[in-house]
């Protein structure tokens, strides 16, 4: 391993259709008060396009921020658990939509930890010297996989995408160390049953699927798992939580984030929180939150930023980023999604009708 792998560009793309708690409560048995107090979520976005469209726009914005030519991208990773298609990969769709034809492309499914997994893979591949310009994208259209008769899961998720550009650097910056794990003994605690080759394709209701979970079990394991991975990362780098400028945790539940901050003895003012706007966007969460932190000036040159995530698998991950000199984009992209002329409830109407 030689040199480092700097994050030189960043971008996000959230679809325009907003779904509020009140709108959900108008179609299923729940309330704004329950969702807000149990999860911290107030609204989320619902995509009118496939996840690869969100990913492609986020990627083009990240490339502009780095002032990078898409033809120079030689590695493109899409972290997603809600692919457009099983074959080809979402990454192949993103290649076509961005024109990144000189890139090796693949999807990576580590649930909500997918972006930290993807950044770890890309950083290692850049630091090995084999690749020169990587796009790491977290993108999800998870509302497409919701079963509206399962009110505990249906209220928690939203769609979006975030992306970063990673390039070689001599400066000590980028992802300095990360640690990844998985608790496969609890793999069934969060799943989309009957989708894939274990499903019964001859069943009458094949095609009615949705995210199911054991919320309490995941809650318990999420706090413990993220704290454990964080401890490993900090110990490896000889740091304590006092050395951390900002924490960007996965956003599954505000109470999980607050419990993690309490465990780490970190004041919530140093923690990025945007769950109220987007819900849980799985692998898109961390790059979206990172982009928003940069846009709002909450990340400064040289900051030490801790990432922590937990998700389907049950995967767990933590990583420490040392931010480089530049915190502003070099250029802006004019990439946009196709216009959306439906409300969030209209986009979801068929799915809600079918699953209720
Ligand atoms: N509206 C109203 N009531 C509801 C809803 C809803 N949408 N969903 C569940 N309830 C009811 C339940 O039926 C239960 O009622 P009962 O006591 O009469 O049986 C009651 O609310 C309490 O349910 P709990 O499961 O105890 O609620 P809790 O406070 O644990 O919160 C939640 C549930 C929000 C799911 C929480 O456990 C959680 O956030 N878990 C982890 C998040 C998660 O798994 N995310 C998935 C991705 S993995 C990751 O990203 C970390």
Helix (H), strand (E), coil (C) string for 24-89:
HHCCCCCCHHHHHHHHCCCEEEECCCCHHHHHHHHHHHHHHHHCCCHHHCCEEEEECCCCCCCCCC
Distance (angstroms) between ligand 1 centre and the Cα of 44 equals 17
144 CA from centroid of ligand 1 (Å): 20
Running DSSP on this structure, what letter comes out for residue 337?
P
**What pLDDT is attached to residue 204?**
67
The yes-or-no answer on residue 93 being catalytic is no
Q: What are phi and psi of 174, to 5 degrees?
A: 85, -165
What's the pLDDT score for residue 349?
Answer: 95
- 356 falls in which pLDDT band (50, 70, 90)? confident
- The per-residue pLDDT for 207 is 66
Q: What is the pLDDT of residues 105-162, one digit of tens each?
A: 999 999 999 999 999 999 999 999 999 999 999 999 999 999 999 999 999 999 999 9
What letter does residue 240 receive in the DSSP assignment? Answer: -
Q: Are 198 and 101 in contact (CB under 8 A)?
A: no
Predicted pLDDT at 265: 94
The class level of CATH for 4-172 reads alpha beta
Q: In whole angstroms, how far apart are CA 111 and each of 42, 146, 232?
A: 23, 15, 21
User: Comparing 4-172 with 176-322, is the CATH topology the same?
Assistant: yes
At the top level of CATH, which class does the domain 176-322 belong to?
A: alpha beta
**Structure tokens that stand for 40 in this block:** 């911290």
Phi and psi at residue 261, to the nearest 5°: -60, -40
* Gap between the Cα atoms of 235 and 216, Å rounded: 29
182 is catalytic: no
Protein residue with its CA nearest to atom 35 in ligand 1: 215
Please report the DSSP string for 205-231 in residue order.
TTT----EE-HHHHHHHHHHHHHHHHH
Q: Rounded distance, CA 265 to CA 107, Å?
A: 35
pLDDT digits (tens, 9 = 90+) for 238-268: 999 999 999 999 999 999 999 999 999 999 9
Which is nearest to 233 in space by CA: 120, 151, 140, 148? 120
Least confident window among 70-79, 184-193, 208-217: 208-217
Mean pLDDT of the chain: 96
Q: What is the pLDDT of residue 71?
A: 98
Evaluate if residue 323 carries a pLDDT over 90.
yes
What's the confidence (pLDDT) of residue 186? 93
Whether 198 has a pLDDT exceeding 90, the answer reads no
Pocket of ligand 1 (CB under 6 A): 30, 34, 38-39, 112, 151-152, 155-156, 190, 213, 215-216, 218-219, 222, 250, 252-253, 280, 310-311
CA-nearest residue, atom 36 of ligand 1 = 215
Of ligand 1's atoms, which has the minimum distance to the CA of residue 153?
Answer: 35
Helix (H) or strand (E) holding 152: helix 151-154
The per-residue pLDDT for 138 is 98
- Ligand 1 atom nearest to 214, measured from its CA: 44
How many angstroms does the Cα of residue 143 sit away from the middle of ligand 1? 17
Please tell me the distance between residue 219's alpha carbon and the centre of ligand 1 in angstroms: 9
User: Bridge partners of 45?
Assistant: 18
pLDDT at 305 over 70: yes
Higher pLDDT pick, 64 / 203 = 64
Report in angstroms the alpha-carbon separations of 332 from 207, 323, 326.
41, 20, 15
Average pLDDT over residues 25-53: 97
pLDDT at 194: 81
Q: Domain map of the chain by residue range?
A: 4-172, 176-322
Q: 156 CA to middle of ligand 1, Å?
A: 9
pLDDT of residue 333: 98
Active site residue 250: yes
| Predicted local distance difference test score (pLDDT) of residue 206 | 65
């Amino acid at each position: 391993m030689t040199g480092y792998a700097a994050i030189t560009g960043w971008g996000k793309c959230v679809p325009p259709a907003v779904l509020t708690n009140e709108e959900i409560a108008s179609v299923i048995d729940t309330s704004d008060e329950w969702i807000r107090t149990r999860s911290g979520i107030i609204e989320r976005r619902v995509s009118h396009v496939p996840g690869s469209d969100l990913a492609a726009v986020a990627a083009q914005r990240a490339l502009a921020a780095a002032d990078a030519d898409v033809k120079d991208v030689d590695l493109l990773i899409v972290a997603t658990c809600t692919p457009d298609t099983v074959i080809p990969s979402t990454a192949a769709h993103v290649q076509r939509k961005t024109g990144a034809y000189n890139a090796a492309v693949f999807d990576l499914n580590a649930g909500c930890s997918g972006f930290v997994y993807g950044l770890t893979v890309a950083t290692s591949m850049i630091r090995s010297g084999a690749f020169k310009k990587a796009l790491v994208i977290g993108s999800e259209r998870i509302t497409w996989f919701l079963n509206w008769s399962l009110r505990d899961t249906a209220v928690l998720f939203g769609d979006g995408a975030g992306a970063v550009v990673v390039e070689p650097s001599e400066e000590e910056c980028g992802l300095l160390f990360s640690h990844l794990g998985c608790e496969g003994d609890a793999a069934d605690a969060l799943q989309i049953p009957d989708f894939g080759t274990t499903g019964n394709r001859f069943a009458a209701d094949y095609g009615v699927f949705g995210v199911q979970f054991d919320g309490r079990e995941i809650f318990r394991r999420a706090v413990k798992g993220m704290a454990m991975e964080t401890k490993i990362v900090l110990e490896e780098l000889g740091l304590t939580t006092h050395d951390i400028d900002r924490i960007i945790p996965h956003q599954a539940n505000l109470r999980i984030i607050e419990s993690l901050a309490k465990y780490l003895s970190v004041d919530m003012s140093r923690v990025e929180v945007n769950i109220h706007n987007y819900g849980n966007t799985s692998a898109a969460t961390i790059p979206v939150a990172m982009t928003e932190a940069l846009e709002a000036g909450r990340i400064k040159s040289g900051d030490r930023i801790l990432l922590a995530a937990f998700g389907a698998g049950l995967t767990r991950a933590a990583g420490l980023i040392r931010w480089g000199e530049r915190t502003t984009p070099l250029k802006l992209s004019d990439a946009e999604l196709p216009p959306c002329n439906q409300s969030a409830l209209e986009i979801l109407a068929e799915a809600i009708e079918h699953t209720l």
